[in-house]
């Protein structure tokens, strides 16, 4: 009996120890549960949320760019893209090999894909192939069950109605390379040039997102809440598609540019730079090789020459000089004799007309573009004072157009020369300056603005964006009305009177008259030896040495509506090429605008 009790005690002791073990185990488990469910609830809650939800960034649709008549210049088309769930990134090689059996994946796609794979974004999807054709789309849909981690998405891609005529002014879109934006929205395209760039903040819109619930294998179960993307605002411009396209057809075979401006509003009706480039190619994503071709082209197709191209203004600058001397009480009856050249020291300055113009007054000098007359004026001209006058016409100043990368041109002064050439100003340089040669440089837009200001008598500023609610109000130029009228009248003479340099380019219409000024921008220095054997005709010269053909003008003469500037590179004298083209453009434009 005693043994039984002892045995029983021993048994109880063992059971107690066993129970103790269980208690320890229980508290361990409860402790861990407390750790998981109470202490780390938020951490695991977030992990579980990340597991379940995927984010798809919804790119905003870019605002549409319209011309003045609400014709679409830049719009968006639907692009079908194939994307892969980012979680399955490590399977990408296997998936691509599978995909290659049904779709053609080009080297460019691979290049893009590699870039996409390296990027860190909020987006839980990686784009594999863009620009799927209908056939590719159908093929993929047919085999889609084999690709549970891939999906087709619709993206809006910038598309341009006319892919050459508007290239420079409208600009193109591309991926942002700035660090800040790239992190979050690497697939968002932003404006790179032209209107697309300067009004990017208006056009771009705001991105949204779509939360998607997916299961462990990446199959989408349902769509959760979303934030819709906000489309960018539309933009209306002063541009006129019909005029732009007509003008582009005229100019596209040459190198050069033109600007057509509304003389009341400063609105840019047409702006062309030639040669142009395929703007759609850029917006869809240009291939590297093609980009290099554009980059290395000597005719600089990517440069908007209308606002960034710099040329000597040539004889068109004589209008400024005329206004300058008239402001300083120059007599209209004052005549100078032109023998074909003028001497200054031992240097001979030539008139374009080797035989000379004989006795000419200011009006004739403008009309026939006599250089010698202006050389005579140059003797008494202070270059700094002339520069002040030129700047009133935006020569040497930015026109403040709403486009990126505008050049300010160059209007030389004594100080400028000291600073940049480390030399004092010579009178000979004033001789060059008064006929728009030498240091002076201007953009076609500056010429157009100069002409518009002369034509209207107001300080016109150019504008691309059209806002129907505000009428631009420009103040008057502080220049004597009579002087302006005289210059306008002289410009009328250039085009409409016998012996005028652009007489052959007068408007055929009886309704309107055009006024203007030709110019020839000399690219080379004509040597003395050459003068003696006779100056070579432009056609005989190698292309690169030929003169630029310039014309600036306005129409109709009474109540000016349009101002134009054309610069055609290496096309010879202004009267031969630029002036007739200006006539055609103005003729057509007035017809379109006034019907």
Partner 1 sequence: MQEIVYKFKNLNWTLVMSVLFLSLIGLIMIYSASNAEGMRSTYSHLAKLVFGFTIMLLVALININTWQKYSFLFYLIGIIILIYATFYGFIGKGSRRWINFLGVNIQPSEIMKIFLIIGLAKFFDERKIEGLRDYLFLLIPIIMIAIPFLIILNQPDLGTSIILLFLGAVVFFIVGINYKFFMFCGIIFFFSSPIVWNLLHEYQKQRLLTFFDPYKDPLGTGYHIIQSEIAIGSGGFFGKGWLRGTQSHLDFLPEKKTDFIFSMLGEEFGFLGTLSVIGLFILICIIGYLMVSSIEKSFFSKVVGIAIITNFFISGAINMAMVMGLTPVVGIPLPLVSYGGSSMVTYFFGFGLLLSIELSHKIHKEDNLVNLPFFRQ
CB nearer partner 1, residue 15 or residue 332: 15
d(CA 110, CA 104): 11
CB of 20 to partner 1, least distance (A): 12
d(CA 157, CA 78): 6
- Of 350, 363, 322, 360, nearest to 454 (Cα)? 322
- When asked if residue 217 is in the footprint of partner 1 (CB under 8 A), the reply is yes
CB nearer partner 1, residue 115 or residue 223: 223
* Contact between 149 and 218 (Cβ < 8 Å): yes
Choose the binding region for partner 1 from 32-40, 507-515, 551-559, 566-574 (rule: CB under 8 A).
Answer: 32-40
CB nearer partner 1, residue 2 or residue 288: 2
Backbone dihedral angles phi then psi of residue 446, each to the nearest 5 degrees: -60, -40
Binding-residue pattern over the window 170 to 209 for partner 1, x denoting contact by CB under 8 A: ----------------------------------------
CB nearer partner 1, residue 22 or residue 400: 22
* Contact between 231 and 255 (Cβ < 8 Å): no
Site size toward partner 1 (CB under 8 A) is 39
Classified as helix, coil or strand, 213 is strand
CB of 93 to partner 1, least distance (A): 16
CB of 4 to partner 1, least distance (A): 9
CB of 118 to partner 1, least distance (A): 20
Classified as helix, coil or strand, 557 is coil
* Contact between 250 and 581 (Cβ < 8 Å): yes
- When asked if residue 7 is in the footprint of partner 1 (CB under 8 A), the reply is yes
CB nearer partner 1, residue 32 or residue 418: 32
* Contact between 42 and 111 (Cβ < 8 Å): no
- When asked if residue 358 is in the footprint of partner 1 (CB under 8 A), the reply is no
Classified as helix, coil or strand, 42 is helix
Among 20, 37, 70, 122, binds partner 1 (CB under 8 A): 37
- When asked if residue 94 is in the footprint of partner 1 (CB under 8 A), the reply is no
DSSP single-letter state for residue 478: S
**Which whole-number Å values give the CA distances from 88 to 84, 150, 198, in the listed order?**
7, 10, 39
Among 111, 142, 184, 213, binds partner 1 (CB under 8 A): 213
CB of 85 to partner 1, least distance (A): 13
431: exposed, middle or buried (C-beta count within 10 Å: 0-12, 13-18, 19+)? buried
Binding-residue pattern over the window 11 to 30 for partner 1, x denoting contact by CB under 8 A: xx-xx-xxx--x--xx-xxx
**Which whole-number Å values give the CA distances from 69 to 207, 267, 360, 542, 592, in the listed order?**
29, 13, 47, 43, 12
CB nearer partner 1, residue 7 or residue 249: 7
CB nearer partner 1, residue 14 or residue 181: 14
Among 93, 216, 424, 469, binds partner 1 (CB under 8 A): 216
Which residues within the stretch 505-564 sit at the binding site for partner 1 (CB under 8 A)? Answer: none
- When asked if residue 224 is in the footprint of partner 1 (CB under 8 A), the reply is no
Choose the binding region for partner 1 from 39-47, 204-212, 339-347, 498-506 (rule: CB under 8 A).
Answer: 39-47
Backbone dihedral angles phi then psi of residue 113, each to the nearest 5 degrees: -60, -45
Binding-residue pattern over the window 380 to 419 for partner 1, x denoting contact by CB under 8 A: ----------------------------------------
**Which whole-number Å values give the CA distances from 423 to 349, 415, 420, 433, 525, in the listed order?**
21, 9, 8, 16, 21
d(CA 184, CA 172): 22
CB of 211 to partner 1, least distance (A): 13
Backbone dihedral angles phi then psi of residue 398, each to the nearest 5 degrees: -70, 145
Q: Which two tokens stand for residue 494?
A: 């250039």
- For residue 385, the number of C-alpha atoms closer than 13 Å in the C-beta half-sphere is 10
CB nearer partner 1, residue 213 or residue 559: 213
CB nearer partner 1, residue 51 or residue 331: 51
- Of 137, 139, 138, 142, nearest to 154 (Cα)? 137
CB of 268 to partner 1, least distance (A): 57
In the block, tokens 């939360």 appear at 211
What residues does 267 pair with on adjacent strands?
463
Which residues within the stretch 42-71 sit at the binding site for partner 1 (CB under 8 A)? Answer: 43-45, 47-49, 51-52
CB of 119 to partner 1, least distance (A): 21
Backbone dihedral angles phi then psi of residue 584, each to the nearest 5 degrees: -60, -40
CB nearer partner 1, residue 33 or residue 536: 33
Strands (E), 280-385: 336-338, 341-344, 347-350, 358-360
CB nearer partner 1, residue 19 or residue 358: 19
CB nearer partner 1, residue 95 or residue 207: 95
Residues at the site binding partner 1, with contacts judged by CB under 8 A: 7-8, 10-12, 14-15, 17-19, 22, 25-26, 28-30, 32-34, 36-38, 40-41, 43-45, 47-49, 51-52, 90, 213-217, 221
């Amino acid at each position: 009996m005693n043994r039984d009790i002892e045995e029983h005690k021993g048994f109880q002791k063992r059971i107690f120890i066993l129970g103790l073990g269980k208690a320890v185990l229980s508290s361990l488990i409860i402790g861990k549960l407390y750790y998981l469910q109470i202490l780390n609830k938020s951490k695991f809650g977030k992990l579980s949320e990340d597991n379940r939800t995927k984010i798809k960034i919804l790119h905003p649709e870019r605002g549409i760019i319209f011309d003045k008549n609400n014709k679409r210049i830049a719009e968006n088309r639907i692009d079908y893209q194939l994307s892969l769930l980012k979680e399955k990134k490590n399977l990408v090689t296997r998936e691509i090999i599978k995909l290659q059996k049904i779709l053609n994946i080009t080297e460019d796609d691979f290049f893009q894909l590699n870039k996409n794979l390296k990027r860190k974004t909020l987006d839980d999807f990686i784009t594999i192939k863009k620009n799927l054709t209908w056939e590719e789309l159908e093929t993929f849909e047919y085999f889609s069950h084999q690709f549970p981690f891939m999906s087709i998405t619709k993206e809006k891609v910038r598309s341009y109605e006319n892919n050459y005529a508007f290239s420079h002014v409208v600009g193109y879109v591309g991926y942002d390379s700035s660090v800040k934006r790239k992190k979050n929205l690497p697939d968002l395209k932003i404006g790179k040039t032209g209107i697309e760039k300067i009004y990017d903040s208006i056009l771009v819109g705001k991105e949204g997102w779509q939360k998607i619930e997916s299961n462990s294998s990446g199959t989408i179960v349902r769509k959760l809440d979303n934030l819709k993307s906000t489309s960018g605002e539309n933009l209306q411009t002063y541009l006129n598609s019909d005029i732009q396209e007509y003008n582009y057809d005229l100019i596209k075979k040459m190198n050069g540019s033109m600007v057509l401006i509304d003389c009341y509003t400063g609105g840019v009706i047409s702006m062309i730079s030639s040669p142009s480039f395929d703007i759609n190619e850029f917006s869809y994503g240009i291939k590297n090789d093609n980009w290099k071709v554009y980059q290395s082209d000597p005719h600089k197709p990517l440069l908007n020459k209308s606002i960034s191209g710099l040329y000597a203004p040539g004889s068109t600058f004589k209008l400024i000089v005329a206004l300058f001397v008239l402001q300083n009480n120059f007599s209209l009856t004052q005549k100078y004799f032109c023998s074909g050249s003028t001497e200054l020291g031992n240097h001979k300055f030539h008139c374009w007309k080797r035989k000379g113009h004989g006795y000419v007054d200011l009006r004739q000098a403008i009309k026939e573009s006599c250089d010698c007359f202006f050389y005579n004026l140059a003797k008494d001209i202070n270059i700094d004072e002339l520069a002040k006058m030129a700047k009133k016409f935006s020569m040497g100043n930015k026109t403040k157009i709403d486009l990126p990368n505008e050049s300010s041109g160059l209007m030389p002064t004594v100080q400028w020369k000291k600073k940049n050439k480390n030399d004092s100003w010579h009178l000979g340089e004033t001789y060059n300056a008064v006929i728009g040669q030498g240091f002076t440089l201007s953009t076609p837009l500056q010429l157009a603005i100069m002409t518009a200001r002369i034509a209207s008598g107001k300080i016109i500023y150019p504008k691309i964006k059209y806002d129907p609610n505000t009428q631009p109000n420009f103040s008057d130029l502080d220049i004597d009305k009579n002087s302006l009228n005289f210059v306008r009248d002289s410009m009328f003479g250039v085009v409409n009177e016998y012996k005028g340099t652009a007489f052959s380019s007068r408007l055929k219409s009886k309704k309107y008259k055009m006024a203007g000024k030709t110019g020839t921008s000399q690219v080379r220095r004509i040597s003395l030896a050459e003068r003696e054997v006779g100056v070579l005709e432009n056609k005989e010269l190698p292309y690169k040495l030929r003169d630029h053909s310039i014309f600036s003008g306005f129409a109709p003469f009474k109540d000016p509506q349009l101002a134009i500037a054309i610069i055609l590179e290496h096309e010879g004298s202004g009267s031969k090429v630029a002036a007739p083209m200006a006539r055609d453009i103005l003729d057509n434009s007035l017809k379109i605008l006034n019907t």
